[in-house]
Amino acid sequence: MSSQPVSRRLSDAPTCAPTAKIHESHLGVWTEIGDRCVFNHVTLGDYSYVERDCDLMFTEVGKFTSIASSVRINPSNHPWWRPTLHHFSYRPGKFGFVDSDQGVDDRIFAWRSEDRVVVGHDVWIGHGALVLPGVTIGNGAIVGAGSVVTKDVAPYTIVVGNPARPLRPRFEDPDTVARLEALAWWDWPHARLARMLPLFQGDTGVFLETAERESHRSS
Percent of the chain surpassing pLDDT 90: 78
Is residue 22 included in any domain, yes or no? Answer: yes
Question: What confidence tier does 51 reach under pLDDT thresholds 50, 70, 90?
Answer: very high
| Catalytic status, residue 78 | yes
Is residue 196 included in any domain, yes or no? Answer: no
| Full domain range(s) for residue 55 | 15-77+115-172
pLDDT in tens, 27-43: 999 999 999 999 999 99
DSSP 216: H
Is residue 24 included in any domain, yes or no? Answer: yes
For residues 85 and 105, what is the distance between their CA atoms, to the nearest angstrom?
Answer: 14
pLDDT at 193: 97
Interacting residues of 61 by C-beta distance below 8 A, sequence separation 6+ = 42, 43, 44, 45, 48, 50, 67, 119, 123
Tell whether the model's pLDDT for residue 6 goes beyond 90. Answer: no
For residues 213 and 37, what is the distance between their CA atoms, to the nearest angstrom?
Answer: 41
pLDDT at 5: 55
pLDDT in tens, 95-150: 888 877 667 888 988 888 889 999 999 999 999 999 999 999 999 999 999 999 99
DSSP 38: E
Domain containing residue 127: CATH number: 2.160.10.10
- Please provide residue 149's backbone torsions phi and psi, each rounded to the nearest 5 degrees: -95, 115
Domain tally for the chain? 1
Cβ–Cβ under 8 Å, residues 152 and 135 = yes
**DSSP H or E segment with residue 194:** helix 190-195
Residue 16 three-state SS = strand
Is residue 149 included in any domain, yes or no? Answer: yes
Mean pLDDT over 47-72 rounds to: 98
For residues 196 and 45, what is the distance between their CA atoms, to the nearest angstrom?
Answer: 20
Is residue 206 included in any domain, yes or no? Answer: no
Rounded to two decimals, the pTM is 0.91
Residue 156 three-state SS = coil
Cβ–Cβ under 8 Å, residues 75 and 135 = no
Active-site residue identified among 78, 86, 87, 121: 78
pLDDT in tens, 172-195: 999 999 999 999 999 999 999 999
For residues 178 and 204, what is the distance between their CA atoms, to the nearest angstrom?
Answer: 13
Pick 19 or 103 by higher pLDDT. Answer: 19
